[in-house]
Structure 1
C-alpha cells in the first residue's frame, strides 16, 4: 500500500471547520479504495499563532511542509494579525511556502456545477475553465522589497523573468492538453491575459507566451487585455478553456471568476510546483462566521480532490487519480440534488451536514460500481 504524508494547516477562522470536512471526505475515499494510506499531520502555522507567540510559521513547521508529500490548507488570516507596515501576517505562511518551495503555478478551476444558482443571465453553454496564475513573480515579488520614503512616496516593482514566464505558460499549455476544451465547442485554447498594449513588462510576458505556444501546435493561441477579460468572464465564460496571467492580474480575475459560479465557497485551488504542492479553498478565513457551522466546505473538499489528482500524477498512482475524480463526482451529485447546501448558495444546511452528504454519495457511488 502506498503511503503519503499530508501536512494539514487548518489555519484561522472557518479554516478548521472546512478542513475537518475535507479530511472526513479524504478518509472516506481512502477507506473505499484501500490502496493508499494518507497520513495527516497537523501544522499549527497561522495568524492565531502569530498573535500568541509572535511568529506565524516556525522553522519546524516550514520543515514539516517541505518534507510532506503534499499540503492541505483551510484558510489563514486574521485582520488584527499584522506587521508594523500594515501587511497581514498570513503572507508569512502562504507566500513563504509559495516562494521558498517554488509553487509557481496557482491553479484555480472555474466550474459551474449543475444545480448551483449561478448569477449570470446566460449559463446554457456552461462554465468550465481554469485560471493559471504565475505565483512567485509579477507585482507580488515586491511584497517585502517595496520602498516607502518618508511615508510620502511608496513604490513596488513588477518582476517578469524569462524562466518564470516560460514555466507558467508551459504549465498552462500542458494543462490544456489534458482537458476537454472550452464548453462552447470543445476547442483547446490557452488565453494569454496581460496589459501588453501599455506596459513593456506585459509585452514581454506575451512575447514569451508566443515562444512557448509554438511548441503546442494543437492548442489554439488566444489573447486578451486584463480589463477586457474581466468583461468577457461575465459575458461569455463558455468561450474559455485555460487562462494564463501574471500574479496580481490572475489573483483578481480568479476571484471574479468565482462569483460567476456561485461564490468562493465553491472555488478550489492549488499552489503547484514540480516537487511540492499546496491545496486550499480560494476563500479567506471569514472569522466573523467562525464556529457557527455555516461555512461552505465544498471548496476545501474539492481542493482535497485536486491534491489526490496531483499526488497520483506525481507518483503514477492511478488509484489516487480515480479517488480525486470520485470526490468531484460526489460533490457534483450533492450539488445537483440541491437538498443539502449551505446558506451562501441558497440552502440551510450546516458545514458538517454538507461533508456528511458528500461522504454518503461517495459510498453510494462506490456500492453502485461494485459487480
Structure 2
C-alpha cells in the first residue's frame, strides 16, 4: 500500500468550475455520497473550491494558491468543467489552462487515461456497430502543449511553438499503457492484448524518437503485442475498425484529438470520462467542456462526470490496495450502465427527456437497488 491516505478514508478536492460544471458535479457528489454511505469502511470527504473562468472574470485569478495547495495535498481531485469561450488571455489562450494545465504540469499528471466503449442503450454512431472497448493513453505534460506559455509571437506576423519529447516522459506513459493492457481482456476483435503507438514518425524526428522509446518499453512486455500507426491513418481506423484496438498511446496533442474522436464513435463527449494521473496525484474529470449555452437549465448529461467519479474510486482503490473502494467504483459503473440500458431517465442528447438532476436521481436509485 502506498503512503498517504488512511485506508478507506480519503480527502478529495472538488472543482465544479464553469458552465454546467456545478450541475454535473452536484450529481456526481450525490452518487459518491450514496455509494460510500452504503459501504462500511469507505469514507470520502469532499472540500469544494472555486476555480475557473468565472472566477478569473471576477477576480483576475483563475485558481488561487490556496486552492492549488489543497489540490496538491488531496488524495484526489474531482473536476467538473473549466473554461468559457470568452474568457481569454491577451494572447488568445483560454483561461482554462490556468487551472487544468497548471495542475497537470505542476503535479506531474503525465498520463491522460481516456476509456471508450460501446454503452448499452446508446445508439451506435458508426455503421456496422462493431464493438468498441479501448483506452487512449495521452502523454499529458510534454509534446506540443509544453509550449503553451513558451511560444513566440513576433510582431503578430510570425508565431512558433516547439514540441518537447523526452525519453523519461515517453517511457513513463508507455509503461502506463502496457500496464493497462496487462490488466485488460484484450481487444474486442479477438481478445489479443495490444498496445498501439500513434505518431507521425514518417515526417518528424520528434515522433520517431517517441516511437523508439515506446519500442524500448515494449521489449519488456513479451506477452503483449505492439504496433505503430500514423495519426492520420489512426483517425480512419477508429471509424472503420474500432474493434482492432485495446490500448492506444500518443503524444499530448495527438492524444487529445484521437480521444475526442473516440468519444464521438460511442455517442459523444457527454459519455466520456477521463483521468489525469501521475505516480503521486490523480485528477478526474469528464472529457467535455463547460457548455455555457445550456448552463443553469438542468439539461446536461451527467454520465461522463459520474463515470469519472467511478474512475477516481477505482484509482484510489488500486493505489491503496483498498478492495472496498474498487467495489464502490464497480457499483457506480453498473448503476450508470443500468440507467443507460433502460433508457427511461436519460437526457435529451441520449433521446430522453430527463433533466440532469433527474438522471442523477435514477443513478442513485439504481445504486440502491443493487445494494
What's the offset of the Cα at 1:112?
Answer: 1.2
**Structure 1 residue 270 and structure 2 residue 268: aligned?**
no
Q: Which residues of 2 match residues 192-203 of structure 1 at below 5 A?
A: 192-203=197-208
What's the offset of the Cα at 1:32?
Answer: 1.3
**Structure 1 residue 183 and structure 2 residue 193: aligned?**
no
Aligned to 2:4: none
Match of 1:78 among 78, 81, 84: 84
Q: Which residues of 2 match residues 68-217 of structure 1 at below 5 A?
A: 68-123=74-129, 125-217=130-222
What's the offset of the Cα at 1:28?
Answer: 0.8
What's the offset of the Cα at 1:255?
Answer: 0.6
**Structure 1 residue 237 and structure 2 residue 267: aligned?**
no
Give the whole-Å Cα distance in 1 for the aligned partners of 2:228 and 2:369.
44
Give the whole-Å Cα distance in 2 for the aligned partners of 1:285 and 1:3.
30
Aligned to 1:3: 9
Q: Which residues of 2 match residues 42-81 of structure 1 at below 5 A?
A: 42-81=48-87
What's the offset of the Cα at 1:2?
Answer: 2.6
Q: Do the aligned partners of 2:20 and 2:291 also contact (CA within 8 Å) in 1?
A: yes
Aligned to 2:45: 39
What's the offset of the Cα at 1:345?
Answer: 1.4
Q: Normalising by the residue count of structure 1, what TM-score does the alignment of the two structures yield? A: 0.97
What's the offset of the Cα at 1:263?
Answer: 0.6
**Structure 1 residue 27 and structure 2 residue 10: aligned?**
no
Q: Do the aligned partners of 2:276 and 2:282 also contact (CA within 8 Å) in 1?
A: yes
Q: Do the aligned partners of 2:139 and 2:249 also contact (CA within 8 Å) in 1?
A: yes
Aligned to 2:295: 290
- Deviations 1:3-47 (CA, angstroms, capped at 9, x unpaired): 111000000000000011011111111011121111000111111
Q: Which residues of 2 match residues 219-368 of structure 1 at below 5 A?
A: 219-366=224-371
What's the offset of the Cα at 1:97?
Answer: 0.2
What's the offset of the Cα at 1:154?
Answer: 0.4
2:80 is paired with a residue whose SS is strand
Unaligned runs of 5+ in 1: 367-371
Q: Do the aligned partners of 2:8 and 2:324 also contact (CA within 8 Å) in 1?
A: no
- Deviations 1:136-185 (CA, angstroms, capped at 9, x unpaired): 00000000000111110000000000000000001000011111111111
Give the whole-Å Cα distance in 2 for the aligned partners of 1:34 and 1:294.
34
- Deviations 1:97-147 (CA, angstroms, capped at 9, x unpaired): 000000000000001112101211112x41110000000000000000001
Aligned to 1:369: none
What's the offset of the Cα at 1:79?
Answer: 1.6
Task: State the 4+ residue runs in structure 1 displaced beyond 2 angstroms.
Answer: none
What's the offset of the Cα at 1:209?
Answer: 0.6
Q: Do the aligned partners of 2:8 and 2:325 also contact (CA within 8 Å) in 1?
A: no
Q: Do the aligned partners of 2:111 and 2:276 also contact (CA within 8 Å) in 1?
A: yes
Give the whole-Å Cα distance in 1 for the aligned partners of 2:40 and 2:57.
41
2:293 is paired with a residue whose SS is helix
2:274 is paired with a residue whose SS is strand
2:72 is paired with a residue whose SS is helix
Aligned to 1:218: 223
Q: How many residues get paired?
A: 365
Give the whole-Å Cα distance in 2 for the aligned partners of 1:355 and 1:215.
44
RMSD between aligned residues: 0.8
